[in-house]
Amino acid sequence: MARSASALVAGFLLLLTLLTLDAAQGQQPFPPTDPSDADALHAVFRQWRLEGEAAAEDPCMKRVWSGSFEINASIDCNCPAISRCQITGLNVTGYKNITEIPLALFNLTELVSMHFNNNNLSGSFPHESSLLRNLKSLWIFDNNVEGLIPEFIQNFTSLTDLYA
Ligand SMILES: *[C@@H]1O[C@H](CO)[C@@H](O)[C@H](O)[C@H]1NC(C)=O
Ligand SMILES: *[C@@H]1O[C@H](CO)[C@@H](O)[C@H](O)[C@H]1NC(C)=O
Ligand SMILES: *[C@@H]1O[C@H](CO)[C@@H](O)[C@H](O)[C@H]1NC(C)=O
Ligand SMILES: *[C@@H]1O[C@H](CO)[C@@H](O)[C@H](O)[C@H]1NC(C)=O
Ligand SMILES: *[C@@H]1O[C@H](CO)[C@@H](O)[C@H](O)[C@H]1NC(C)=O
Ligand SMILES: *[C@@H]1O[C@H](CO)[C@@H](O)[C@H](O)[C@H]1NC(C)=O
């Protein structure tokens, strides 16, 4: 009698635990990506066709799309408590099929670091690049943008680490 009662209690506790876990999974464990940043990143990755089936995922919860010796696609986020996450770093390197920077990227105005080396970018940086006022680090070596750096760099007023 006592045994079946304790089995019942154990079963009930197990059920309660499962229900609690289920409820916790339905919630965002930390602040989601700022909607403007999320839209911009989705638009950029859509144009580069990097998202695949994960298109709907919250960028700051995902963070890494690809990380290997040859190709990297990842972001860094700053998530101040009770506020939203903002995208502060973007590494997209080693993609020989990436030839242009989508304009949507310049909506990521909190970017501090942007590594774009070893892609196949060509042409100049558009005027919108002046929106990246916080950018400190820019790596664009091993692309086709030689000779275009002196012009656009004047608008990156925070830049301390340029590797071109
Ligand atoms: C970028 O920002 C502009 C101006 O706020 C807005 O009109 C546009 O929809 C944004 N684009 C994306 C892809 O977020
Ligand atoms: C570029 O190549 C990667 C694989 O290396 C692929 O996932 C992506 O869809 C390609 N993007 C474009 C624009 O073709
Ligand atoms: C970007 O690359 C740099 C240099 O390899 C690394 O220090 C940084 O952690 C990377 N950031 C992300 C978001 O992957
Ligand atoms: C990708 O990231 C890894 C680890 O940070 C690094 O060793 C590698 O050089 C990166 N690949 C490219 C193409 O930048
Ligand atoms: C780089 O892009 C150009 C077009 O701008 C293309 O002709 C070339 O094949 C690309 N290089 C590689 C290695 O994919
Ligand atoms: C720098 O930014 C200003 C203001 O947005 C713009 O008019 C100018 O064309 C930019 N210069 C370059 C070289 O991109």
- The reply to whether 129 falls in a domain is yes
**Residue whose CA lies nearest to ligand 3 atom number 6:** 91
pLDDT class for 147, splitting at 50, 70, 90?
low
- Three-class SS state of 139: strand
The residue that leads in pLDDT, 126 or 34, is: 34
User: Which amino acid, 105?
Assistant: L
Ligand 5 mutation pick, 93, 96, 100, max ligand atoms within 8 A of CB: 96
Would the CB of 43 count as within 6 Å of ligand 1? yes
Whether the pLDDT of residue 63 is over 80: the answer is yes
- The reply to whether 3 falls in a domain is no
Whether the pLDDT of residue 150 is over 90: the answer is no
- The reply to whether 66 falls in a domain is yes
Strands 72-78 and 64-67: antiparallel
Range of the domain at 72: 35-163
Return the residue matching tokens 């950018």.
135
38's CB contacts (< 8 A; 6+ apart) are 32, 58, 59
Q: What total number of domains does the chain contain? A: 1
- The reply to whether 114 falls in a domain is yes
Relative to the CA of 39, which ligand 1 atom is closest? 14
The residue that leads in pLDDT, 110 or 128, is: 110
**Do 121 and 146 meet the contact criterion of CB atoms below 8 Å apart?**
no
Relative to the CA of 131, which ligand 6 atom is closest? 5
